Amino acid sequence: MPHKAEFPQVGDLVVCSVENVKNFGAFVKLDEYEGREGFIHVRDVATGWVKYVRDHVREGQKIVCKVQGVDREKGHIDLSLKQVNDHQRREKIQDWKNEKKAEKLLEIVGQKMGKSLEESYDSAGEMLIEEYGALYSAFEEAAINPESLKETGLDKKWMAAVLEVAKENIQLPSVMIDGTLDVSCPGPDGVDHVKKALATGMESDESEINISYVGAPKYRVTVTAEDYKIAEEELKESVDRVAAAVAKFGGSASFKRKEEK
């Protein structure tokens, strides 16, 4: 990757490909640092006594290690596998995959501008990383909040290309919550009043709200939003609107969240 430092820093988590396993440890290639290799001593492969290194790592395996030491003059990088827990490994692998995807997106941006990937880093990539901390974060934020790109100092043509690619390729994160709404309204026009009340419950500029029929008088309410806080607020406001609308005609509404299994 053109933007990557030449060496990782002590304490960094790095994605590695296992190349050669010996009785005394394993030699690996650092996937994020072109041409760099590292070594995991047998004592750093796993907690406790390790009889056979191959019981824990094998050639061709993709692993996440923690950098223990870096000798820039000799090019040696000492790594630890045992100091990385499952949560850290999953997060690092996902971040690595995201950055690989983001680099492909930057390449597409460059193609639109008639530039190579390296030139794209010089014209836009480095500025995006400086502003957002990571290339994928830049594309994700551009898709969520296009106005934020103005803070990067990007040329307008590059900004437009980044925004176009972000909108076409980034799936925005979202959460969904739901529950059951009981709505009833007496009188000959009760059904019409219920329909109109439910329609008010689906009005929203902040999220996607759906109300579907389950079986009289029950309706399923689902809210999809960018985070749980917004979703909860939208759900409450939706239910309140339905209750207020149906109450004008002598009806009633009650809501129950879906029980967790």
Could you tell me if residue 4 is inside a domain? no
Could you tell me if residue 65 is inside a domain? yes
A 10 A CB-CB count for 217 gives: 17
Could you tell me if residue 1 is inside a domain? no
127 and 183: one domain? Answer: no
pLDDT of residue 204: 83
DSSP 55: G
Question: Does residue 237 contact residue 205 with C-beta atoms inside 8 Å?
Answer: no
pTM over 0.85: no
- Largest Cα span, the chain: 87
Q: Return phi, psi of residue 154, to 5°.
A: -65, 150
27 and 66: one domain? Answer: yes
72 and 101: one domain? Answer: no
- Looking at residue 142, its amino acid is A
Q: Which of 110, 144, 169 is the last residue of a domain?
A: 169
Residue 134 belongs to domain spanning: 88-169
Could you tell me if residue 74 is inside a domain? yes
Whether residue 2 is preceded by a cis peptide bond, meaning omega within 30 degrees of 0, is no
Could you tell me if residue 107 is inside a domain? yes
Report how far residue 29's alpha carbon sits from residue 55's, in angstroms, rounded to the nearest whole number: 19
A 10 A CB-CB count for 52 gives: 10
22 and 76: one domain? Answer: yes
191 and 236: one domain? Answer: yes
Instruction: Please count the structural domains in the chain.
Output: 3
Report the candidate in 40, 117, 127, 123 with the shortest Cα–Cα distance to residue 83: 40
76 and 99: one domain? Answer: no
Which CATH number fits the domain that encloses residue 116?
1.10.150.190
Could you tell me if residue 8 is inside a domain? no
Low-confidence ranges of the chain (pLDDT < 70): 1-4, 173, 258-261
pLDDT of residue 260: 41
Span 124-161, pLDDT tens digits:
999 999 999 899 999 988 988 888 888 888 999 999 99
Q: Which of 52, 68, 84 is the last residue of a domain?
A: 84
Q: Which of 84, 117, 139 is the last residue of a domain?
A: 84
pLDDT of residue 261: 37
- The β-bridge relationship of strands 208-215 and 62-71 is unpaired
pLDDT of residue 3: 56
Question: What sections of the chain are H helices per DSSP?
Answer: 86-113, 117-120, 126-132, 135-144, 156-169, 190-201, 228-247
Which CATH number fits the domain that encloses residue 71?
2.40.50.140
Could you tell me if residue 7 is inside a domain? no
**Residues 54, 60, 63: CA angle, nearest 5 degrees:** 75
